[in-house]
A and B are shown apart, each in its own frame.
Chain A
Amino acid sequence: MANPSQTAPPLLEVQHLCKYFPVRAGLLRRQVGEIRAVDDVSFAVYPGETLGLVGESGCGKTTTARCILRALAPTSGAILFRTQEGTVVDLAPLSEAELRPLRREMQMIFQDPFASLNPRMTLFDIVGEPLLVLGRMRDRQQRMDRVAELLEMVGLRPEYMRRYPHAFSGGQRQRIVIARALALNPRLVVADEPVSALDVSVQAQVLNLMLRLQQELGLTYIFVAHDLSVVKHFCDRVAVMYVGKLVELAPTRSLFFQPRHPYTAALMAAVPVPDPRLRGKMQPLEGEVPSPANPPSGCYFHPRCPHAVEICSQEPPRLQEIAPGHFVSCHRAQELELVGVDAAEVPGHEG
């Protein structure tokens, strides 16, 4: 599939985004430190593309996503969003009232399809709520028509409108969540681990649905996930985070076949491949992810990095464009020969 053009101006540009949470202790709840959940992260998202955001638990994926949608107020940085009218607005400093008219253009799909639906609301209420609240669609019949259309779009029967979420399976609930997110024709959809809680067979159904809707509606996705196989399958470009920092950002193929950051390469080597012939290739990385409240000096990855040299523990590396569209933050990016997913060793895959 052709990559969406990056010649168009970006739909979203995140610049030097930071989100620090205070760490409090003691009786007086005095601030004793801070968690740098997102620390100087910059990237752009182009219209019609899917940008993947990957990294291990706690690296700041959800916090980044929530800042972009202004469910959280960033500590600093800019979030430049190109509105339908073509003007560029910085969402970071806006008040809730100022954000309101922009909210319909950006929607979020949450991780857990069981927790994100109110059990006391019918599908009509759930999917129709944004139409009423943000869309000011007061006419009930009009809302019913639109909800029916949305349910059909995600492969659910319109007759289900009067049912409650408990009557649906995990995959069906995620479809409901998607229908709700699409109610107001958003342009940007941020999906936070939309398939992580689903079984493989259901996961495939939801991923296919998201692909189809993207093509039909021209959606732009930010796709947060920790499963690299899913990300490789689904994304045009991928951003890798480690302890609040962006360490690498590249088109999916380059990232997987020629990773330039040792952490990206280590992540790939740890993915269990569903083929017993490729056994024993898994190379576990030593050590553990550091706490964002107490990160190491220099490059945060240096204590676990097999390629670390002196400078790595002393100076934090800067994100640089090492090849067109390929950004990496590593002192040794130019000289290292890293191994990604080796296309050559892949035996013929069924299907």
Chain B
Amino acid sequence: MSNDPAPLLVVRDLKTYFFLDEGTVRAVDGVDFAVHPGQVVGIVGESGCGKSVTVKSVMRLVQRPGRLVAGTIRFRPSSQSAQRWPLAPDGTLDLAALDPQGPIMRAIRGGEIALIPQEPMAAFSPVHTIGNQIVEAIRLHQDVDRQTAWEWGVERLAEVGIPSPAQRMRAYSWELSGGLRQRAMIAMALACGPRLLIADEPTTAIDVTTQAQILTLLRALQEQHNMAIIFITHDLGVIAQIADHVVVMYLGRVMEAGPVEEIFLRPQHPYTRALLRSIPSIHTPSRTLLPTIQGSIPHPFNRPAGCPFHPRCGDFVPGLCDRNTPEPVPVSPTQTVSCHLYTGELHGEPIPDRSSPA
């Protein structure tokens, strides 16, 4: 799947900074990743590491004082809309070079790439019914009458497992339980059949049983529509369950990326390894001390020089890690790590065959 020759999205050296009076926050500082059609890419990292700013940059939703200062965001639109757009010879479009408010970006947002934002209340207006908002979203991108759009809306709500969908179209978002609202949000994001769905912490505020329902639903929808998903979370359990490919971020940079098995079973970056060790699992022994990562995440104005993780890294080499920023190097054809200490010798376990039943 990840060897598909034509990726849907390729982000290269993305930098998004916030220019504040007190200083510059380098929220995203040279991020690379790719998403292939039908793939679920998980972005993990601790609070403030730049996950939301990364995907807002892709959607061109970053607002002042923030600015996309460098990088390319090459997206491959579906053949239909593409005819009217100024594509590069390889069939892609650099979203970073487009006017964020221009007609192409407006058509892409919601039509080709849909976002479920981190703030759940931000997705729906409290003064319009869910149905009216879904109809609105459909008609923004598709030339259909109200009646048809309404029927599609009902179908979408049914598809995400909302009981009595025709009735629920007339409900307001605040009348729904957390789990139903989350489903309605997914239905709205899917309204125009996007090729890429970006879900920013879609299950963080909800209970485990509802979370399990939503994860199963997203997986099913992804398979039915061959839709790609970027799934953001800080929960490594969720990532292990849903992602095909994992991007581990720390302070605005990608520390390590690769297929989910390689990241969990054969992590090469000291940060990834420390993060995995520090989670209490339902399977680890009780009432023992958990291995911790020393220190805390630095303030965004005080970004360390060199490797951003070096002040907390147990293996840090003075004169190297605090001077030069490591660039991603391949560990395998599919896994990369950004660490000076990686010498080509692999840590960890053999990776099981991907073709074994999931």
Contacts and interface: CB of A to CB of B under 8 A. Distances in A.
B212 A199 contact: no
Given A169-B297, A280-B358, A201 B278 contact: yes
Interface stretch (A10-18, A103-111, A226-234, A324-332): A226-234
Given A56-B208, A200-B236, A233 B286 contact: yes
B280 A288 contact: no
Given A200-B275, A201-B293, A208-B292, A276 B287 contact: no
B212 A284 contact: yes
A57 B205 CA distance: 10
Interface in A218-237: 226, 228-230, 232-236
B47 A199 contact: yes
Interface residues of A, number: 57
Given A274-B237, A275-B240, A276-B260, A349 B207 contact: no
A184 interface: no
Nearest to A54: B208
A103 B292 CA distance: 34
A288 B210 contact: yes
A150 B101 CA distance: 54
Nearest to A169: B296
Nearest to B242: A272
Between A199, A205, A207, the greatest number of chain B beta carbons within 10 A of the residue's beta carbon is seen for A199
A309 interface: no
B296 A200 contact: no
Given A274-B264, A279-B358, A288 B47 contact: no
Contacts of A351: 277, 291
A229 B276 contact: no
A286 B287 CA distance: 33
Interface in A240-264: 252-253, 256
Given A228-B208, A232-B282, A270-B211, A200 B237 contact: no
Contacts of A289: 177, 207, 209
Contact of B213 (A272, A277, A284): A284
A219 to B, nearest CB: 14
Given A208-B290, A270-B211, A273-B240, A346 B283 contact: yes
B351 to A, nearest CB: 10
B151 interface: no
A205 B292 contact: yes
Given A56-B209, A199-B234, A211-B287, A274 B279 contact: yes
Interface in B212-269: 212-213, 215-216, 234-241, 260-261, 264-265
A341 interface: yes
A289 B284 CA distance: 29
A282 interface: yes
Contacts of A339: none
A234 B287 contact: yes
A276 B264 contact: yes
A283 interface: yes
Contacts of A280: 357-358
Given A229-B279, A267-B209, 17 more contacts: A56-B210, A199-B297, A201-B292, A202-B296, A229-B237, A232-B282, A252-B286, A272-B235, A273-B240, A273-B282, A274-B240, A275-B264, A276-B261, A276-B265, A289-B207, A341-B282, A351-B291
29 contacts: A1-B288, A199-B46, A199-B297, A201-B278, A203-B278, A204-B278, A204-B290, A226-B207, A232-B280, A232-B286, A234-B286, A266-B209, A270-B211, A272-B235, A272-B238, A272-B240, A274-B281, A276-B240, A276-B241, A277-B352, A278-B240, A279-B240, A279-B241, A282-B216, A284-B213, A288-B177, A349-B283, A350-B273, A350-B277
